[in-house]
Amino acid sequence: MPDRFDEAAAWALKQPLGPEEQVALEQWLALDPRHSGALLRAMAGLSLVDAAIMPEADDQSRIAWPRRRIMAGMAGALAASFAGVIGWRTLTAERVSTARGEIRRLPLSDGSVATIDTDSELRVAFAADTRRISLDHGQAWFQVAKDRTRPFVVDAGIAQARAVGTAFSVERREDGVDVAVTEGVVAVWPSSARGEMTILEAGQFARFRPGAAAPTTGTAPAAIERTLAWRSGEIALENETVAIAVARFNRYNRQQLVLADPSVGEERLIGLFQIDRPEDFAATLAATLDVAVTTTPDEIRLAKKTSATR
């Protein structure tokens, strides 16, 4: 009787599949939860994983996976395959960081571009058979040059993202990791082997939280574009609270906005503001929300106007 790894190799070699073969593959995967992991190991070894994640535009060559989410065995096998087959952990990495208020556009050696947000740090490790970014903290938006022979993987601690010829952002914070796709298709999965791989298309996002087996996902193209307005040096607000806006401005500026009155932070507003001009934002609050503004070289204090300040 064939070994499951032999069967997995046979399925990998058959790609792309016809309709009847696709049904048969679905049935084979359902027979044993270990089959999904075996299949991914086989495909990684044959350098065909990228065809599953980012197929060419020609619909005739598209690989239609049986599920939008590929279960834990495949996610774990993917990480294991990269660590073992590519040996990325031994690569020499270039460290890149940005200071407060700095937004940096970084051309990469393969033709890709990383746009790095303020107060961020990442490491770039490229080799003949792989392209890997380790995001230690902060956020970056990647425009990935197509190269099927060199997987482009972003490691953000608890989460991984992989793409070919696409554009997406990854943000790593203490409370989790957010991935948002602006162009093409990206595969994401928890770094632990007990999660799921999820395929994201343009306009979709995934939020990973520590300990969760799967991310929270959704479709919000307009919201994604607003949250990425920092690439143009702007902060875009669409009914967000003043408190959220203040937190965004303070990431970029030495002169900090201070909510002297918590009730001001609960107000909501719409607008487009320059990241490096918190004083303009404060002036807008004063004009539209009846806010009193007190300015020093280090702070811009915001409070509700009283009868004495009107």
CA 239 → CA 165, 282, 284, distances in Å?
A: 33, 16, 15
Please tell me the distance from the alpha carbon of residue 9 to that of residue 198, in angstroms, as a whole number: 22
* Three-class DSSP category at 306: coil
Q: What DSSP character marks residue 86?
A: I
Q: Tell me the pLDDT tens digit for each residue of 140-170.
A: 999 999 988 888 999 999 999 998 789 999 9
Measuring CA to CA, which residue among 84, 66, 77 is closest to residue 193?
Answer: 77
Worst-scoring range by mean pLDDT, 91-100, 210-219, 248-257?
91-100
71 or 43, higher pLDDT: 43
Per-residue pLDDT tens over the stretch 12-61 = 656 556 677 788 888 888 888 778 777 776 565 444 344 444 444 444 33
The beta strands (E) that lie in 30-151 are given as 69-70, 94-97, 104-107, 113-116, 121-126, 131-143
Q: DSSP code of 118? A: S
What is the spatial distance between Cα 150 and Cα 133, in angstroms, rounded to a whole number? 13
pLDDT (tens digit per residue) in 214-252: 899 999 999 999 999 999 999 999 999 999 999 999 999
